[in-house]
Structure formats: C-alpha cells, structure tokens
Structure 1
C-alpha cells in the first residue's frame, strides 16, 4: 500500500513540476535611449521609427495610440500578448498590458515564460534599431 501511495505522490510531483512554465512578468523599465552610431541626436520621430522597426523585426505589430505611446501586439499560434511601449527622448519602457492563452496570473503577476522571451527579443531589436 505504501508503495502505491509513494508512486502516486512521485507521479503527482513530477506532473506539477513539469507543468510549471510560468515566470514573473518581465517589464523593461526606463531603459536609456542609446546614442546613435553616427553621433546624431535622437528625435521623438527617430525613436518612434526605431521602436516600430524593432517591433516589425521581431514579428510584433504596433500602432501609436498617443504621443510617446505605442501598443505592441504579438500572435504566435493560439497565443496573444500586448505590451505598452512608452518612450521619451531619454528612455523607453515595455510593460505588460494583456494576453490570451499565456497562463497570466494577476494575483502572482506571472505568465508563460515565452512571453518574457518575446519581450527580451523585442527589447534587443529596439536597442539595435535605436543605435543605427
């Protein structure tokens, strides 16, 4: 009898551990706008253009919803995520807005690890575009 209970406990633990794909939601906060490689000054328009190019490079769609604010959206298979990108002449932030099918928990502020990877890749693409 103990063998059966122990086996069930081990199987249940393995199932729980293997199902853990959630991580704390990653937001990019107040990332400094890098200098351009050619030494020219960034403008509000050049920053917006670079952010949009970074979104396109990583398969995010985007639309400017207000001056200094872009809504970025990504759809991967059945998964959907949205992030707000707020920018100024000195910095930008990428913050979680909404998602579907990514196991988001408002209580624990966790989400499927793929969302964080997509945001990290988006951030890298934006930095690259801002530096050009």
Structure 2
C-alpha cells in the first residue's frame, strides 16, 4: 500500500445526561493509541471526535473521507450509543441527541456510506 493510513476515533460519554456512559471516550482514545503505535498498526494520523455534537461529528467524518486520497486507508471507530430506528437503520447518537426527534438529532449510518462516495476513496473501514 502506497497511501497513508488515517483514522477517526469517535467517543461519546453523553455527559450530563441520563444516558451517560463511563468508558466510551476512554475506549476511543485507547483505540487511537493502538492505531498510532508503530509496532501494532502504524497509522500516519488519527483525528478524534470526543463528546462532540452531531454537527461537529458530521463535519469530522466528511472531512476525513473527503480529504483522503485513493491509495489511503481510512478507519473510523465509534464508541457510544447507537439506536435502530424506523426501517431498522442504525443511528449513532451524540451528546445533543434528543429521543423525541431522533431523525433530526442523530446520525444515520448511511451518512458515512454517502461520504465514502467521494471519487478519491478506495479503502474505508468502519
């Protein structure tokens, strides 16, 4: 492989909510360490999205996929709450998610699939 290895780790503990998690952020940051470790994965760069809002996470996901070159390997890791909705599609929840408006306030996993359509992309692991 001649391209770079780039990653995005997403961790959301949902602070100050009734759905608060204890270790999602720690899991994401530990994954980042593994990816960057030259003796294990040797990724060139790994960005993070920690306790972000839906909008901030969407921008980081699109940015990493949009900026990747055809020979790059892109890895996206998510640790947090997910939920099936309506058509049993997976929705990822962020700190500003509202259960009364899940379509408006959560990320449909298909968003990542759509971002993978950028012409420069070839290898993405989610």
Normalised by the length of structure 1, the TM-score is: 0.26
Give the structure with the larger helix fraction: 1
Q: TM-score, normalised by structure 2?
A: 0.27
Larger strand proportion of the pair: 1
